[in-house]
Amino acid sequence: MIDRWGHESIGNMGDESGELLDLGALLRALRRLADLSQRELAARSGVPQSTVARIESGQAVDPRFRTVERLIRAAGSTLGVAAPGEPVRGVEPARDDNRRDEAGRRYPAHLDVRKVRTLRDWPGAWWAHSYPLPPERWPLRVPEVTYDLDRGRRDERRLRERLRDAVRIRRVTDGVPDGCWRLVAELPDGDPVGELRAHERSLDLLLGEDLADQREVVLDGVLVAPRLRLLGIGRRLVTRLAEETRRAGLRAVCATAEFGGIAFLQACGYRIEWRRPQALRFDHC
**Where along the chain do its domains lie?**
1-95, 109-162, 168-267
Q: Which residues contact 102 (CB under 8 A, 6 or more apart)?
A: none
Q: What are phi and psi of 9, to 5 degrees?
A: -140, 165
Element (DSSP H or E) covering residue 184 = strand 180-186
- What is the CATH code of the structural domain delimited by 168-267? 3.40.630.30
CA distance 222 to 15: 46
pTM here is 0.72
- Distance CA(187)–CA(49), nearest Å, equals 40
Q: Is the per-residue pLDDT at 188 higher than 90?
A: yes
DSSP-assigned letter for residue 85: T
Spatial separation of the C-alpha atoms in residues 239 and 198, rounded to whole Å: 13
The yes-or-no verdict on residue 239 having pLDDT over 90 is yes
Query: Is the pLDDT at 9 greater than 50, yes or no?
Result: no
Question: Within a 13 Å sphere around the CA of 266, how many CA atoms are in the beta-carbon half?
Answer: 10
Nearest to 171 by CA among 249, 247, 225, 262: 247
Least confident of 21-25, 188-192, 211-215, 217-221: 211-215
Task: List, for residues 129-154, the tens digit of each pLDDT value.
Answer: 767 778 888 888 898 899 988 999 99
Which has more confidence, 14 or 265?
265
Calculate ∠ Cα 81-86-88, nearest 5°: 65
Instruction: Please provide the CATH number assigned to the domain covering 1-95.
Output: 1.10.260.40
The pLDDT score that the predictor gives to residue 135 is 82
- pLDDT for 285 equals 66
Q: Residue 126 and residue 143: Cα distance in Å, rounded?
A: 14
In percent, how much of the chain has pLDDT > 70?
82
The whole-number average pLDDT for the span 254-272 is 89
d(CA 109, CA 94): 6
Q: Region 101-128: what's the mean pLDDT? A: 86
Residue with the bigger pLDDT between 10 and 158: it is 158
pLDDT at 116 > cutoff 80: yes
**What is the DSSP-derived secondary structure letter of residue 144?**
S
Residue 241 reports pLDDT greater than 90? yes
